[in-house]
Amino acid sequence: MDTGLLQHSLDDLLCRILPGRPRPSLPADADTQERYEHLGATRLHVGRTLAADPALTVDVAADVLPLLTLDDGPTSQLVFPLVAALGRRPVLTFLIDRAGTGSWRARTNSCSAAYWVRVWHPTAGRDEIITATREGTITGEQARALLQQVAQHPHRRTGDQVDDLWPSLWAAAADTFVHCQDNELRRQLQSAFPLDAGHYPPGHGPLLDRARTIAEESPDLFGRLLANDSGYGIAI
């Protein structure tokens, strides 16, 4: 990870979305741990600010999305606000595009960030229901019925469907796994795509055969891939 570039970009973004806030800084002699913690704190602050203001997130999305490719320690902190504001489909489409271009690390980061697109779920209405249940203003049975309605909200069922996009993400991840020659990046990628050719459009068999051969040569590193315990968008 180019922590310097990511930190600089996050600092710039934070100053934009929180005008008047002093630009954070680290001592020139800060050690690796201090820089790591500073980066994590900045990312968290940016994420919370965006999560609190979806309209702002839409306005700065073009600046936030590229940061996902710089971060090889991806968390939900930037991805969730983007998905909540834009929807799953635009975010996953962006990550698929970036998963096929740029450096191997940027491609890997894009694939890793896609995991958080998969696990995000809308909380609008859900938090209020849970709070009401805790306060005793609705019964547990009423809460369960309301939560089921939230889960079946049309926006989640139709406007945010991405099932058709996952094969493109898997193919990009498999291609990077085969060609990047870096086993650490390969280890990160092994959870992103399945080896079963049945999940892909026709023509991906040779690529997956090469990926399987690489995994079989280092089963201690790629056991999850060999066990078919991988592939975002697949029920595991």
Binned at pLDDT 50, 70 and 90, residue 34 comes out as confident
Q: Are 32 and 63 in contact (CB under 8 A)?
A: no
Whether residue 52 sits in one domain with residue 96: yes
Total of domains in the chain: 2
Whether residue 57 sits in one domain with residue 151: no
Query: Would you say residue 33 lies in a domain?
Result: no
Whether residue 141 sits in one domain with residue 52: no
Whether residue 106 sits in one domain with residue 73: yes
Query: Would you say residue 50 lies in a domain?
Result: yes
Query: Would you say residue 1 lies in a domain?
Result: no
Please identify which residue in the block is written with the tokens 């023509």: 203
Burial class (CB in 10 A: 0-12, 13-18, 19+), 213: exposed
- What does the pLDDT read at residue 121? 79
Cα–Cα distance, 193 to 236 (Å, whole number) = 12
190 has a pLDDT exceeding 90: yes
Q: Are 42 and 5 in contact (CB under 8 A)?
A: no
Most confident of 119-133, 136-150, 188-202: 188-202
Binned at pLDDT 50, 70 and 90, residue 232 comes out as very high
| Residue 10 CA, distance from chain mean position | 17
Query: What's the token pair of residue 217?
Result: 């040569």
Query: Would you say residue 23 lies in a domain?
Result: no
- Domain span at residue 219 reads 46-120+163-226
Whether residue 169 sits in one domain with residue 111: yes
Whether residue 167 sits in one domain with residue 144: no
Query: Would you say residue 28 lies in a domain?
Result: no
pTM above 0.85, yes or no: no
Query: Would you say residue 143 lies in a domain?
Result: yes
Whether residue 55 sits in one domain with residue 72: yes
Whether residue 181 sits in one domain with residue 108: yes
- What does the pLDDT read at residue 228? 86
Query: Would you say residue 38 lies in a domain?
Result: no
Query: Would you say residue 107 lies in a domain?
Result: yes
